[in-house]
Amino acid sequence: MIAGLTEILLQIKQGDKAAFRMLYDTYSPLVFDLAHKLLKDTAVAEEIVQDCFVKIWGSREQIRIDQDIWPLIYVTAKRLCYNQLRHARVAQKYLGQVESIVVNDVQEKLDLRELESQLERSIAKLPEQQKTALRLSRMEGYSHQQIASEMGISPNTVKNHITQALKSLRKTLTQADYNYLIFVFLYLIR
C-alpha cells in the first residue's frame, strides 16, 4: 500500500502521470506475479501488466479515492488473464485441427507458398513502423514492452501499430486467404 494513497489517487484522477507511475511501480510486480501464476508465460504476463495499467489509466476518472485501489487492479488483471486463457484455448483448438491435416497434395503446398508470398508482399507494403512492430510481435514473439524498448516508442503505440498493420493486411487479402494465413501465423509463433 502506498502512503498517502488518497492523495495519489486524486492526482491520478486529474491526469498526473508521475502519480500514476508511483502506482505502477508499486503494483506492477503484484500484477506480474498474478499473471505469471495463472498463465505460466513470462512474455504474456508482461503484456498483461501493461494492458492492466493501460485500462486503469483509461478509466482513471472512475477511480474512487475513498477505497483501496488494489481490488480494482486485481480484478482488471484477473479478467485480462482469463481472456488470454480463453483466446489461447480457441487458438489451440484451431491449431490442433490444422496440425491434424496432412498436406500431401502438391497443389496445396504451392497454394501455401503463394499465400505466404502474398503475405510477405503485403507486409512489405506496410509503413515501416507497422512492419517492424508486426514482425517483432508475430515472428519474433516479443512482448509489446520489448517492442516498445526496441523501437523507442510506448507500448500503446506498439499495440496501435500492430492493430493497424493487421487491418491493412485484412484489406489486401481475401477473407479466405486471411483466415488461412492467421492459422499459419499462429502455427509459426508456437
Quick check: 13 and 61 in contact, CB under 8 A? yes
Q: Which three cell numbers, joined as nine digits, stand for 119?
A: 503475405
Supply the pLDDT for residue 127: 93
Q: Look at the chain and count its residues.
A: 190
CATH topology of domain 5-87: Rna Polymerase Sigma Factor; Chain: A (1.10.1740)
**Percent of the chain having pLDDT more than 70?**
79
pLDDT of 75 strictly over 70: yes
Type of residue found at 166: L
User: Which residue is associated with the grid cell 517483432?
Assistant: 136
Alpha-carbon gap, residue 87 to 84, rounded angstroms: 5
Residue ranges covered by each domain of the chain: 5-87, 103-188
Position 37 confidence tier, pLDDT thresholds 50, 70, 90: very high
Dihedral of alpha carbons 88, 91, 93, 96, sign: negative
Q: What is the mean pLDDT of residues 78-99?
A: 78
Supply the pLDDT for residue 182: 62
Position 90 confidence tier, pLDDT thresholds 50, 70, 90: confident
Supply the pLDDT for residue 102: 46
Alpha-carbon gap, residue 83 to 148, rounded angstroms: 23
Closest listed residue to residue 53, CA positions, set 142, 129, 154: 154
Q: What is the mean pLDDT of residues 97-109?
A: 55
Options 1.10.10.10, 1.10.3720.10, 3.40.50.300, 3.30.470.20; CATH of 103-188: 1.10.10.10
**Percent of the chain having pLDDT more than 90?**
44
Q: Which three cell numbers, joined as nine digits, stand for 33?
A: 506475479
Supply the pLDDT for residue 190: 45
**pLDDT tens digits along 123-180:** 888 999 999 998 888 878 889 999 999 999 999 999 999 899 888 877 877 655 656 6
Quick check: 56 and 70 in contact, CB under 8 A? no
Supply the pLDDT for residue 124: 87
Position 119 confidence tier, pLDDT thresholds 50, 70, 90: confident
Closest listed residue to residue 133, CA positions, set 151, 121, 154: 151
Q: What is the mean pLDDT of residues 9-38?
A: 93
Mean pLDDT of the chain: 83
Closest listed residue to residue 131, CA positions, set 166, 170, 157, 156: 166
